[in-house]
């Protein structure tokens, strides 16, 4: 195990936060139970079964280490900012190894299925109102109790620009649901490949941070799948728990859109689950047991609750967003993050959210208990959608970082 000693932390000015986080990090570079998820259950249908904790992304990592150390990164970022659409040729002037890498990384795999992607769009269109709030307060909040991710985000550049980072992640969730996400004129292939490039950059840069424990490489294939489950699997689990009716084709389509995202983010096909059943099985081995609080994650969660603070949207207050978090993530996670129960909204959500969804989805005709909260819940979702759209209007460009926090 690589340990950041207390003396090192003091010498580098790491302070208490750094020591606590680094200890959480070193606690899990090995697995309690041996990795036994079968690659036969993946989109590849087979593989060598190696533990993803020991795998990274060598093709991207080699190129980005070279680009960061030897190329003109601001110029590369300026060029990459002009590359937006899936079917758009790369701009001239990129370093050759980077251009070659992108040309191979932007190819869709043979198993990409346009019919499933059409169903995915249908799903996103129908459930879009829930998806924004779930990407932020189910997946986003969950990321703060995924120790490796919370630490990587906190000590990378994005940790000090959290609003911008949330907006970029929101854009990822938005792009994946657009009509032509992976087709001509869409942007998802570009967004994924750029994100893969950023992750490779983080693997190169973050180990140079004085707050990062020596010898630990961030963002393993395991970490990538953990985050994948915090997004796709967690959202499908939540909608299922809410009893939102989802036709099988749409549920498969949504899975497919995330399988492709995983592939384009550099996750090896042998780790990408083939079905929701396999995704759930993998998540119960990979995601559920590793959730834990860290000082860094608590700080990020606290910032996330301030998301609506400078807006004129009264239902996006800290109290209400906290109550929603507690309702979706459960008491254990909310307690870890020191998010209090909200006296009005917590009981309201517990009693009335289920019937609200049932009425909204046409499963129940009218439930008397829902009357007053129905309007408030609808308004909450509407205000969240307003925030989401406003964020997406900001010009966003995913850029190769040059520094840590």
List residues binding ligand HEM (CB under 6 A). 148-149, 152-153, 156-158, 165, 168-169, 172, 195, 198-199, 202, 218-219, 223-224, 227-228, 231, 265, 398, 401
Closest CA to 287 of 333, 254, 324: 333
Give me the least distance between CB of 353 and ligand HEM, in Å please.
27
Nearer to ligand HEM, 142 or 349 (CB): 142
**335: how many CB neighbours lie within 10 A of its CB?**
13
CA distance 255 to 240: 14
Nearer to ligand HEM, 127 or 194 (CB): 194
Cβ-closest residue to ligand HEM?
A: 158
Indicate the SS3 state at residue 62. helix
Give me the least distance between CB of 203 and ligand HEM, in Å please.
9
Nearer to ligand HEM, 227 or 325 (CB): 227
Nearer to ligand HEM, 296 or 342 (CB): 296
| 195: its two tokens | 């994100």
Give me the least distance between CB of 225 and ligand HEM, in Å please.
8
**With contact defined as beta carbons under 8 Å apart, do 256 and 120 qualify?**
yes
Give me the least distance between CB of 397 and ligand HEM, in Å please.
8
Nearer to ligand HEM, 189 or 352 (CB): 189
Indicate the SS3 state at residue 317. coil
Give me the least distance between CB of 172 and ligand HEM, in Å please.
4
| 231: its two tokens | 């997004």
- Distances from the Cα of 15 to the Cαs of 8, 20, 292, in angstroms? 10, 9, 21
Nearer to ligand HEM, 3 or 405 (CB): 405
- Which residues have CB under 8 Å from 188's CB, separation 6+? 86, 175, 176, 178, 181, 182, 260, 261, 264
Q: 3-state secondary structure string, 319-341?
A: HHHHHHHHHHHCHHHHHHCCCCC
Nearer to ligand HEM, 153 or 321 (CB): 153
**With contact defined as beta carbons under 8 Å apart, do 270 and 44 qualify?**
yes
Locus of tokens 């970082």: 401
Nearer to ligand HEM, 254 or 356 (CB): 254
- Which residues have CB under 8 Å from 116's CB, separation 6+? 249, 252, 253, 256, 257
CA distance 262 to 282: 15
Give me the least distance between CB of 268 and ligand HEM, in Å please.
13
Give me the least distance between CB of 330 and ligand HEM, in Å please.
22
How many residues belong to the chain? 405
Nearer to ligand HEM, 142 or 246 (CB): 142
Give me the least distance between CB of 327 and ligand HEM, in Å please.
24
Give me the least distance between CB of 103 and ligand HEM, in Å please.
21
CA distance 202 to 208: 10
**With contact defined as beta carbons under 8 Å apart, do 154 and 299 qualify?**
yes
């Amino acid at each position: 195990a690589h340990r950041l000693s207390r003396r090192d932390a003091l010498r580098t000015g790491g302070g208490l936060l750094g020591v606590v986080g680094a200890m959480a990090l070193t606690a899990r570079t090995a697995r309690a139970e041996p990795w036994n998820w079968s690659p036969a259950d993946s989109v590849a249908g087979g593989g060598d079964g190696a533990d993803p904790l020991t795998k990274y992304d060598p093709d991207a990592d080699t190129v980005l280490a070279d680009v960061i150390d030897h190329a003109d990164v601001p110029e590369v970022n300026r060029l990459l900012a002009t590359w937006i659409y899936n079917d758009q040729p790369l701009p001239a002037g990129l370093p050759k190894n980077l251009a070659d890498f992108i040309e191979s990384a932007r190819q869709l795999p043979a198993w990409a299925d346009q019919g499933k992607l059409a169903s995915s769009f249908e799903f996103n269109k129908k459930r879009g109102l829930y998806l924004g709030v779930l990407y932020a307060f189910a997946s986003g909040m969950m990321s703060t109790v995924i120790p490796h991710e919370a630490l990587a985000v906190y000590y990378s550049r994005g940790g000090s620009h959290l609003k911008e980072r949330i907006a970029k992640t929101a854009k990822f969730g938005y792009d994946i649901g657009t009509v032509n996400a992976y087709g001509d004129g869409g942007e998802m292939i570009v967004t994924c490949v750029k994100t893969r490039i950023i992750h490779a950059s983080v693997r190169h840069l973050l180990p140079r941070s004085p707050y990062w424990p020596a010898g630990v490489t961030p963002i393993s294939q395991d970490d990538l799948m953990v985050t994948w489950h915090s997004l796709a699997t967690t959202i499908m689990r939540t909608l299922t728990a809410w009893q939102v009716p989802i036709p099988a084709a749409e549920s498969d389509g949504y899975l497919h859109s995330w399988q492709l995202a995983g592939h384009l983010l550099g996750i090896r096909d042998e780790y990408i689950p083939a079905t929701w059943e396999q995704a759930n099985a993998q998540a119960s081995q990979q995601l559920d047991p590793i959730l834990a609080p860290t000082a860094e994650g608590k700080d990020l969660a606290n910032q996330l609750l301030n998301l609506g603070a400078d807006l004129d949207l009264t239902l996006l207050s800290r109290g209400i967003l906290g109550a929603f978090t507690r309702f979706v993530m459960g008491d254990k996670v909310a307690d870890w993050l020191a998010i209090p129960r909200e006296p009005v909204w917590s009981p309201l959500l517990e009693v009335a959210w289920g019937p609200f969804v049932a009425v909204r989805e046409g499963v129940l005709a009218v439930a008397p208990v829902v009357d007053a909260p129905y309007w408030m819940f609808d308004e909450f979702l509407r205000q969240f959608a307003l925030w989401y759209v406003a964020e997406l209007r900001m010009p966003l460009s995913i850029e190769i970082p040059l520094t840590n926090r």
